[in-house]
Amino acid sequence: MKKQQTGQSMDRVDGRLKVTGGAKYFADHHLPDMLYAALVCSPITSGTISSINATKALKAPGVQDVVSHLNAPPVPGYKNAEAGAKDGLKIFKDNRIYSNGQPVAVVVANTLERAVYAASLVEVQYNQETHHTDMNASMNKAFQNNRMKDYLRGEADAWKKAPVTVDATYTIPLEVHNPMELGGIIAHWDTPDTLVLYAKTQGVKNVQDTMKKLFQLPEQNITVHSEFVGGGFGMALRVWPMEVATILAAKKIRKPVKLMLTREQMFTLVGYRPNATQQLSLGATADGKLTGITHEAVAITSPYEDFTEGIVAMSKFMYACTNVNTRYQLVPLNMSTPVWMRGPGEATGAFALESAIDELADKLHMDPLQLRVLNHADTDPERNLPFSSKYLKEAYLLGAEKIGWANRNAVPRSLQENGMLVGYGMSSGTFGAYRGKATVSATLKSDGSLVLQSAASDIGPGTATAMVQIAADVTGIQASKIKFMLGESRYPFAPQQGGSSTVSTVGSAVTDACQALLQKLASLGISGPDFKGAEQEVTVTATSQAGKERDQYSMYSFSVHFTKVHVHPATGVVRIQHIVSVADAGTIVNTKTARSQMIGGVVGGIGMALTEEAILDHRFGRFVNNNYADYHVPVNADTPPTDVYFINKKDPYINPMGAKGMGEIALIGFAAAVSNAVYNATGKRVRDLPITPDKVLDNKGNQPWKVENKMTT
The active-site residue, picked from 181, 417, 664, 708, is 664
Q: Does 708 bind another protein (CB under 8 A)?
A: no
Question: Taking CB under 8 A as the criterion, which residues in 574-593 touch another protein?
Answer: 575
599 touching another protein, by CB under 8 A? no
Length of the chain: 713
CA distance 93 to 90: 6
DSSP structure class, residue 208: H
113 belongs to the binding site for another protein (CB under 8 A): yes
59 binds another protein (CB under 8 A): no
Cβ closer to another protein: 111 or 519?
111
User: Which residue, 17 or 573, is less far from another protein as judged by CB?
Assistant: 573
CA distance 667 to 609: 10
417 interacts with another protein by CB under 8 A: no
What's the closest the beta carbon of residue 589 comes to another protein, in angstroms?
33
Cβ 128 to another protein shortest distance, Å = 12
Residue 516 contacts by C-beta under 8 Å, 6 or more apart in sequence? 442, 540, 541, 542
Q: How far is the CB of 601 from another protein (least distance, A)?
A: 18
User: Binding of another protein at residue 120 (CB under 8 A)?
Assistant: yes
Q: Does 565 bind another protein (CB under 8 A)?
A: no
C-beta separation of 423 from 464 below 8 A = no
Among 501, 505, 544, 703, binds another protein (CB under 8 A): 703
Do β-strands 642-646 and 574-584 pair in parallel, antiparallel, or remain unpaired? parallel
Gap between the Cα atoms of 29 and 208, Å rounded: 19
SS (H, E, C) 32-94: CCCEEEEEEECCCCCEEEEEEECHHHHHCCCEEEEEECCCCCCCCCCCCCCCCCCCCCCCCCC
Percentage helix, strand, coil, to 5, in the chain? 25, 25, 45
Torsions phi, psi for 35 (to 5 deg) = -110, 165
Min dist CB 120 to another protein, Å, is 7
Of the CA atoms within 13 Å of residue 636, those in its CB half-sphere come to: 0
Shortest separation between residue 563's beta carbon and another protein, angstroms: 15
> Segment 603-622, which members bind another protein (CB under 8 A)?
610-611, 615, 617, 619-620, 622
d(CA 685, CA 355): 9
For another protein, the binding residue among 406, 637, 641, 706 (CB under 8 A) is 637
Q: How far is the CB of 552 from another protein (least distance, A)?
A: 47
Contacts of 372 (CB under 8 A, 6+ apart): 319, 357, 396, 428
Interface stretch with another protein, choices 11-19, 384-392, 533-541, 633-641 (CB under 8 A): 633-641
Comparing CB distances to another protein, the nearer of 60 and 330 is: 60
In a 10 Å sphere around its CB, with 0-12 CB exposed, 13-18 middle and 19+ buried, how is residue 279 labelled?
Answer: middle
Q: Is the preceding peptide bond at 652 cis, omega within 30 degrees of 0?
A: no
> Applying CB under 8 A, which part among 151-159, 190-198, 427-435, 630-638 lies near another protein?
630-638
Residue 242 or 691 with smaller CB distance to another protein: 691
Q: What is the dihedral of CA 620, 625, 626, 627, to 10 degrees?
A: 160
Residue 444's closest CA among 482, 492, 487, 491? 482
> Closest CB to another protein among 38 and 509?
38
Nearer to another protein among residue 71 and residue 625 (C-beta): 625
Complex with another protein: residue 478 or 625, whichever CB lies closer: 625
Q: Which of 1, 180, 406, 629 binds another protein (CB under 8 A)?
A: 629
Gap between the Cα atoms of 179 and 266, Å rounded: 9
117 binds another protein (CB under 8 A): yes
157 binds another protein (CB under 8 A): no
* 632 counts as binding another protein under rule CB under 8 A: yes
- Residue 82 falls in the annotated catalytic set: no
How far apart, in Å, do the first and last CA atoms of the chain sit?
61
Residues touching another protein: how many (CB under 8 A)?
41
Rounded Cα–Cα distance for residues 309 and 299 (Å): 10
DSSP 712: -
Residue 207's CB: how many other CB atoms inside 10 A?
25
Pairing of strands 482-485, 290-301: unpaired
Shortest Cβ distance from residue 408 to another protein (Å)? 24
Contacts of 293 (CB under 8 A, 6+ apart): 159, 280, 281, 282, 283, 315, 319, 321, 323, 324, 325, 353
Binding mask 433-462 for another protein (x = CB under 8 A): ------------------------------
For another protein, which is the closer residue by CB, 99 or 505?
99
Q: Is 682 in the site for another protein (CB under 8 A)?
A: no
The residues, ordered by sequence, that sit 6+ positions from 113 with a Cβ below 8 Å of its Cβ are: none
Q: How far is the CB of 423 from another protein (least distance, A)?
A: 17
Least CB distance to another protein at residue 568 (A): 8
In the complex, minimum distance from the CB of residue 60 to another protein, in angstroms, rounded to a whole number: 9
Q: Pick between residue 148 and residue 579 the one whose CB is nearest to another protein.
A: 579
Stretch that binds another protein, among 322-330, 449-457, 676-684, 696-704 (CB under 8 A): 696-704
Contact call for residues 250 and 188 (beta carbons, < 8 A): yes
Decide if residue 101 touches another protein (CB under 8 A).
Answer: no
For another protein, the closer CB: 142 or 570: 570
Asked whether position 127 contacts another protein by CB under 8 A, the answer is: no
Q: Does 693 bind another protein (CB under 8 A)?
A: yes
Using rule CB under 8 A, residue 625 touches another protein: yes
Q: Please tell me the distance from the alpha carbon of residue 342 to that of residue 310, in angstroms, as a whole number.
A: 12
Q: Which is nearer to another protein, 292 or 621 (CB)?
A: 621
What's the min distance (Å) between Cβ of 344 and another protein? Answer: 24
DSSP for 109-126 reads ESSHHHHHHHHTT-EEEE
Positions marked catalytic: 664
Binding site for another protein (CB under 8 A): 43, 113, 116-117, 120, 568, 570-573, 575, 610-611, 615, 617, 619-620, 622, 624-625, 629-630, 632, 634-638, 690, 692-694, 697-703, 711, 713
